Structure 1
Amino acid sequence: MPKWLSSRVRHALLIAIVVWISGCSAAPPENLPTPIEGYNHTSAAINRFTVNGGGGPNIGPHQGGGKQNCCVSLPTKWRPDLKVVIEWEKDPDPYASQYWPQPRYSDAWSKAAAEHETHYTHHRAVVELPPYDRVGAVVVHFFPCDQVKVIATLHAYGHPQYAIKEPLNMEEPKTCQNS
């Protein structure tokens, strides 16, 4: 080091270099914040959903993807029996308001909307997360009869390596076994 640097400056530079180098070799984190995405394979609307308390986007009937919300924490390495808790609110008749005769946002319309909300249903499922090599996004698929599948993936829906193959516009049974 140049002679003109004081011993304090040299000491501070040496500490800064050691801290910088040690920061480069730090162990990887055990968990990562992971975006949440969803696909709705039903004729209902998914008004809101969560994965382990982290919020996902609302999803219209037979829609999904393109919108991610932040976040759920997942381990960087998958482990057996890794489960997530999915909670969601469903509107079974998402297009009902287009037939209401009341002027939009009038008191009568607001009353009809409040009545409509009483038909929303709330659901919860504890789902095992299939193995993953690298965490990309946590993707929840909502199926008829209040069934869900969850994956952690780097691939987009429709990609050959995407694990879920069911079409968005699925035929729904008239009755469900779990109802």
Structure 2
Amino acid sequence: MSGLIMKNFLTNGQFGFLNFVRVCLLAAGVLTASACQSESKMLGASVTGYNHTSAAINRFSVNGAGGPNLGAHQGGGSKVCCGVVPRRWVPGLRAIVEWEKDPDPYAYGKWPERPYSDAWRKRMAEHKKNYSRHKVTVEIPQYSIAGSLKVHFLPCDQVRVSADNIKPGDPRYPYNYPMRMEEPKVCPE
């Protein structure tokens, strides 16, 4: 294509170049106008997680978009792309969160077996039987400007999700929980 444009410019001189510029400006104007008229209702959003518990979150997803695995009392650093959020918040906006949890993520550190030996793999297979899988639907609080999907894992398999552009720690952020939260002896039902 660029060779054809250059050939046209060389054979038609300045007149060809001016026509080329006019066509480019017209195309840019049409694209800009159509972009403004068809503003997307949905936006791509990175997904990050915050694990406020002593369990490990081996994997999770929010509305089908995968997030990073999270160690006990960790989160915020890793972001995965992409989830989708509405450009403008609507009442009743919800998220479906699914996750797998390891209640004893540091158990293998106490095992006498050599790591990745047959005996170790056998014990790991038994350990994995303690993993639990969860799925919940949660409300997403109102936001004025859409941002990233931030998923908070709390004790008693509670989850909170925000989709704003406010970072945790900011006083306006809805879920400023401490990273280390203790699991109660009995969870409310």
Same fold, TM-score > 0.5, yes or no: yes
Tell me the percent identity.
Answer: 46
1:46 aligns to 2:57 (yes or no): yes
Where do 1:1-179 residues align within 5 Å? 4-6=14-16, 12-25=20-33, 26-27=35-36, 28-178=39-189
Q: Distance in 2 between matches of 1:108 and 1:93?
A: 19
Secondary structure in structure 2 of the residue aligned to 1:19 = helix
Amino acid at match of 2:53: T
Aligned-pair CA distance for 1:169: 0.9
Q: Distance in 2 between matches of 1:3 and 1:173?
A: 80
Higher helix share: 2
Q: 1:24-64, CA deviations, whole angstroms, 9 ceiling, x for partnerless residues?
A: 23232211110001111111000100011111011111111
Change (3 A) 1:157 1:4: closer
**Number of residue pairs matched?**
175
Gaps of 5+ in 2: 1-11
Query: What's the TM-score once normalised by structure 1's chain length?
Result: 0.90
Aligned-pair CA distance for 1:170: 1.1
Please say which of residues 163-172 and 19-28 is displaced more in the overlay: 19-28
Query: What's the TM-score once normalised by structure 2's chain length?
Result: 0.86
Amino acid at match of 1:5: F
Q: 1:123-165, CA deviations, whole angstroms, 9 ceiling, x for partnerless residues?
A: 0011111111112211010011100000012222212222112
Q: Distance in 1 between matches of 2:127 and 2:138?
A: 30
CA RMSD in angstroms comes to 1.8
Secondary structure in structure 2 of the residue aligned to 1:136 = strand
